[in-house]
Every structure is written in C-alpha cells, then in structure tokens.
Chain A
Amino acid sequence: MSAQICSCYDVTKGAVCQAIEAGCTSLGALKAETKASTGCGGCAALLKSVMNSELAKHGFEVNTNICEHFAYTRQDLYNLIMVEEIRTFDSLLEKHGKGKGCEICKPAVGSILASYWNDYILKTEHLGLQDTNDTFLANMQKDGTYSVVPRITGGEISPEMLIALGQVGKKYKLYTKITGGQRVDLFGARVDQLPHIWKELIDAGFESGHAYGKSLRTVKSCVGSTWCRYGVDDSVGLAIELENRYKGLRSPHKIKFAVSGCTRECAEAQGKDVGVIATETGWNLYVCGNGGMKPRHADLFATSLDKETLIKYIDRFLSFYVRTADRLQRTSVWMENMEGGLDYLKSVIIDDKLGLCQQLEQQMQHVIDTYHCEWKTTIEDESKLKRFRHFINSDQPDDNVVFVEERGQIRPADEEERKHFKLVEVA
C-alpha cells in the first residue's frame, strides 16, 4: 500500500508518482491532475518534496530557486544578506533579484531580515513583506477578523492577569479558547479593535505572544518540583526563563518548546522543536520533535546538563536552524534532510566542528538584546495605527463580518445564516 500524501482527497504517493511520470513536472500541474494539496493545503511542503525527489530520480534537474524573482535558495539569501550586510528587500532585489517580488520571496526575506537584524517588522520598508498575520500582528481567521494571543510564559498566570484577560474578552465580546500551548486565544476582533484590545492588555501587563509570527511560540511546562510529588526540578521556572530569552526570535517556521520536571513527561517535551526534561543529574535536551501532520519524536541531544550549558546549546541550535533551514521548514524536517543527521548536528553544536559556535551565540545575543514587544511599539506610534481600520476613508466596520451565538459565545455566521441575517437587516 502506498503512503498517503493528501488526506483531504486521499491521494497516495503512488498516484502522485504516476502523475509525475505522465508529465506533471510542476506543482501546479500536479495539483490540477491529482487534486493533492488543494483542500486544506497542509501537505503542500510534503507534495513538493515528493515531486522534487521523483524528478531527481528521473534525471530532471530540480529547480531549488525560491521563486521567479531570485535564483537562490533561502539559505543562499540568508548568506547574501549576512555577508553583504543587506538591510532591506529592495536592496536585495536590486543586487540579486529581478521583477518586483511575490508572496513567496517577500515574507521569506522579511523573515531573514528580522532574524538577522531584528528590526521592527512594521517599519515602512519591511511592512509590505510581511505575511498575512504579521502585517497586523494578529491571526487572520476565515472571515477576515483576527484572533489575539498574549504571551503567558510557561503557561503560568496569576488570577489577576486571568481576570484582566477575561475582562478584555468580555468587553470586546470575543470568542475565548484555551490553546494547545497553555495560553488563551481571543477570536473575532475586527482590525480596528486590535490596537484598543492591545492597549488594555499591555496596561494589564501582557505582551505580544507572537502567535502570528514564524517565531518562538510557547514553552509549555508541567508544574514541576515546586508542587508535584514526583517533580525532580523546577520546570516552570526554566520554561519561563527560556520563553523570555527566545521570545521575539523570527525563524524559518514556528518554534515550540516544552520543559518537563521528570521523566513522566507531562509537558510532552519530546514532541517539540526543543524539549527539556529534568533528571537527578541535570537537564536532558531533546531536539527536532514535532506534533502536527507528521509527528516526530525528538532526538536526545545531550544529557545531564547544567543550566548554563543547556542555554548555550539551545542558543547555538536555534541560530544554526535559523541560518540553514529552508523556508517554512520545521526543525523536524530540517533534521530529516540534514546530511549526517543527529551526529552531524552534535558535532556542530557541541564539538564546534565548523568553528561557528561563537558566532551563533553572538547572533542569538543580538536578538535577545534587541527584543521589544511589537504591540507596545505599535500602539505608541500614531503613524502605525492609521492602518488599523477597515476603511481608510470611513469609520464603518466591514458589513460582511457577521456573528451568531453558539454555546454562549460568538462564532462567524455560516452561508445560510448570513442570508437570513441580510434579509432581516433589509426588512
């Protein structure tokens, strides 16, 4: 039986290979022929990698250019930006690209620039590069409204903060849901409400959770030795420290951490990009795990580490990932594709085979030193707030956004409900 590639349309690897042999040698043609990746789109990266390996097998030259505007891979672009100290998309395009750019290369370059220089991403010269969610520092939902996720480091939150969060949700009538990363997601915010919501959240002591970015999301933790009868070390304390250290780091894809206080692994650290588990002799570090579409158990990278060494390894690991991964490639796939695999990664990070470690640590230190809450920066800058309205020339909201109530909260109206609503409104 051939492996399934696309679960929406039940397309197998066999069917994909057959289509390639029949002459579908581009992603567009392959999608049109097999329907693979035309449902939710979650398998697009997998489909592309199957296509590339099949094309290579059949002796075709595989085009690894990021898009038609740059005859380079993401890694090439990173190196060009680093070596030539390029600070804007326009100067990179002028020197090394052609045309005007697109929704592939712009966010990729925007991400590299942010990883390397850590400028404010809504600076005028960077704004047009940002992907859907980054442009408004919130997560766009199906109806064009946004969801808001403040940072709750390590999943630890005081009753006062929880109440403040609840008050914001209530005031703006937002749909409220607990996320998989131990924080709270507030849905149904209109674009004009975002700055008001964030003003209140920041006044209450919250900061951006970067749920909208390809960046560090959460460091999940179990309750650890502070409360748990079995806990071996303070997993919550370490989780908070790690989340505060790496928050704001832009990367090729999202990054998730977890810290467990003992081997029972209640934080599920072995399913994360970076996982840490407490032992009687120090911290064990796991890397390149993933949940999601293709779950991967993390690899045990180093054992019995003191905190200083642990952090040094994570600094190096993240910088190396940011520098060498492909666009939208999670650490798990990055590892799977790495020549030499885990042993190679160890030789780079632990043994400093490439002599890069000092540079990797400096790179991370720069990101840490230049951290700022993007939402705080945004609401303090009047000129940045002008964009946060639906119409540039009217205060009316978007009349296409319609909510109905379900289980005591709002949700977007479906097609049928919309028709009814419009009729009612006209009458």
Chain B
Amino acid sequence: MAQWQDVCSVDDLQPDSGVCALVEGQQVAIFYIPKDKAVYAINNHDPFGNANVLSRGIIGDINGQPVVASPLYKQHFNLQTGVCLEDETVRIPAYAVRIENGKVQVSISE
C-alpha cells in the first residue's frame, strides 16, 4: 500500500520544470505541468553522468511519452516509468506522486 509523505506545498513546485525533494533519504525529482494538472516523480540521480541533477532537466514529450532530458548529456527518461529512451536496459526509480489539498505527496515504497 502506498505510504504517502507530505513533501512540500504545490507553490514550491516550478511550473513546467522540476525541483528536488529529500524523501526518506532518497533524492526525488518532482516535475509539474500545471496546464495538464500533471505531476511526476522520479529519482534525481542521472546514471550516465553519475550526478544528482535530473530535477534540473528540461521536460517535454517524445512520441507522446512524458520525458525529462538529463541536463548533463541529454538522455531522455520516461517520467512515468523511469525507463531511458536511448537505452531501455537503464531504468531509474519512478515514484507515485499526487497533489492533495495543496500539498505534494510522494510514496517511495510500493
């Protein structure tokens, strides 16, 4: 069962961009697209560049999949599954995330 944790206020999110939150010791990149009322959460660690930077990448879509491009070497990661589009054997953790009463909540454990 999802264990929802309050992370921050929805006002702390960056419209059409990302922020990083610390949740149970994990770095979680949270992306927010107000127009679609969409919020996504994946791990902040870029496995190619080996740095905690994914929250600072540009978001968008490739063939209809919501993605973030790493700010280091521009590999794309699916925001829902964490799968890398350039190398599908690479998958980073994706987390459940929701907005409840103006609070952003993330669930790290399934």
Contact = CB atoms under 8 A, between A and B. Distances in A.
A144 B52 contact: yes
Interface in B47-96: 49-53, 56-64, 66-67, 69, 71-74
Contacts of B35: 90
Contacts of B64: 99
B52 A387 contact: no
B21 interface: yes
A131 B58 contact: yes
Contact of B62 (A68, A128, A142, A144): A68
B14 A387 contact: yes
Contacts of A396: 22
Given A128-B58, A136-B56, A393 B22 contact: yes
Interface stretch (A58-66, A102-110, A200-208, A224-232): A102-110
Contact of B19 (A107, A136, A387, A400): A387
A394 B45 CA distance: 17
B21 A128 contact: no
A128 to B, nearest CB: 3
Given A128-B58, A140-B72, A394 B17 contact: no
B60 A99 contact: yes
Interface string B1-35: 00000011000111111011110000100100101
Given A102-B58, A144-B53, A394 B22 contact: yes
Nearest to B6: A393
Contacts of A142: 49, 51, 72
Contacts, number: 97
B77 to A, nearest CB: 12
Given A127-B16, A132-B71, A102 B52 contact: no
A281 interface: no
A107 B69 CA distance: 12
A124 B15 contact: yes
B58 A103 contact: yes
Given A132-B71, A140-B72, A391-B20, A106 B12 contact: no
B17 A68 contact: no
A417 to B, nearest CB: 13
Contacts of A135: 17, 56, 71
A107 B58 contact: yes
B51 A128 contact: no
Interface in A288-308: none
Contacts of A136: 56
A69 B59 CA distance: 13
B19 to A, nearest CB: 4
A103 B74 contact: yes
B17 to A, nearest CB: 4
B52 A140 contact: no
Interface in A394-410: 394, 396, 398, 400
A392 B8 contact: yes
A100 interface: yes
A351 interface: no
A128 B16 contact: yes
Nearest to A143: B51
Contacts of B33: 100
A100 B67 CA distance: 10
Contacts of B12: 386, 392-393
A175 to B, nearest CB: 17
Closest 8 CB pairs of A and B: A128-B16, A103-B69, A102-B60, A132-B71, A144-B51, A103-B58, A128-B17, A392-B19
15 contacts: A100-B61, A102-B58, A128-B15, A131-B58, A132-B57, A132-B71, A132-B72, A142-B51, A144-B52, A386-B12, A391-B20, A392-B19, A392-B20, A392-B30, A393-B7
